[in-house]
Structure 1
Amino acid sequence: MDFYSFLIQLLNSIQYGLLLFLVASGLTLIFGIMGIINLAHGSFYMIGAYMAFTLSSLTGSLFAAIVLGIALSVILGVFLEWALFSHLYKRDHLEQVLLTYGLILVFEELRSLIVGNDVHGVNVPDILNWSLPLTDTLSYPAYRLFMSAVCLVLAVLLYLVIR
């Protein structure tokens, strides 16, 4: 492997690791602060991703999809907190695992029924639809650098809030 291939793989690995950090930090916060073992945390991440896909398809704007997606996610979160999670605080961890695993199954089936089993994606916004040249023949997508920067900013904010 030459140096430039290694550099691209390194940048991709850092970006993917930062995205995994973002998801894992939410899971850690939920268990650390609320004491709930939420196995369905990844399913909530999936719901957010499919909301962004669906809303960006309907509105034609990723920014509008993010704003609407946050609002809908808050509504869903408040409803599930009221209907399910608030009853788990004084329960055993086994009961928390059973409920949240059940949510995984329900959310996965709903996803399959609503959007199907095909892979979906969201178009990159025009402002981020360019590449940073690394050499004469090699470049790296700006949206990946932007996502890495967003993850780093959120990590710093999370650190400041927890500290």
Structure 2
Amino acid sequence: AEALLRSNYKDDCSKLLRYYDQLNAIEHKLPITENQIRIYFKWQDAFVSGGSLFGSKQKTNGSWKLSYEKACVLFNIGHAYSELALAQNLSIDEQMKIALRYFQLSSDLSVDFEPAVLASISWLMLAQAAELIYMKSASFKDEVAAKVAAHAADCYKEAYTSAKTESAKKIIPE
């Protein structure tokens, strides 16, 4: 099942990246607006009940803007990367390195939505990447391991702080 999960998210990520490239290619060539080429982009909220990250009530959002579609695609690419990271066997050094890279990639893609929520998610992904480094820090000098642990803690603190802002509280329940 784990291998299937990984392959599905790899497929998803690959398809989303290709789709994003196509959106970029048409962005300045086609006037996709409510008044010209009418394409309504609709996505379900990522933070829905039933297995989602934060478990709030399901909501569908949409827009006539291509920039909205691009932002949603980027968000989903970030999600796919984080799922790929979580599917790695962290007891194998090479897979831990892969997980680290996937978490880093997922943190880079959180743009154009509610800033505090995305900041929280981005910090969380960086914290998890730092934690993976810390897990391998047994071979590091104590001072280096302490710095890595402190960095992970700082990232988790930033994630928590971002999640507790007024704008984020509307999306992320207690």
Q: Same fold (TM over 0.5)?
A: no
* TM-score, normalised by the number of residues in structure 1: 0.27
Structure ranking higher on relative contact order (CA contacts 8 Å, 6+ apart): 1
Higher helix share: 1
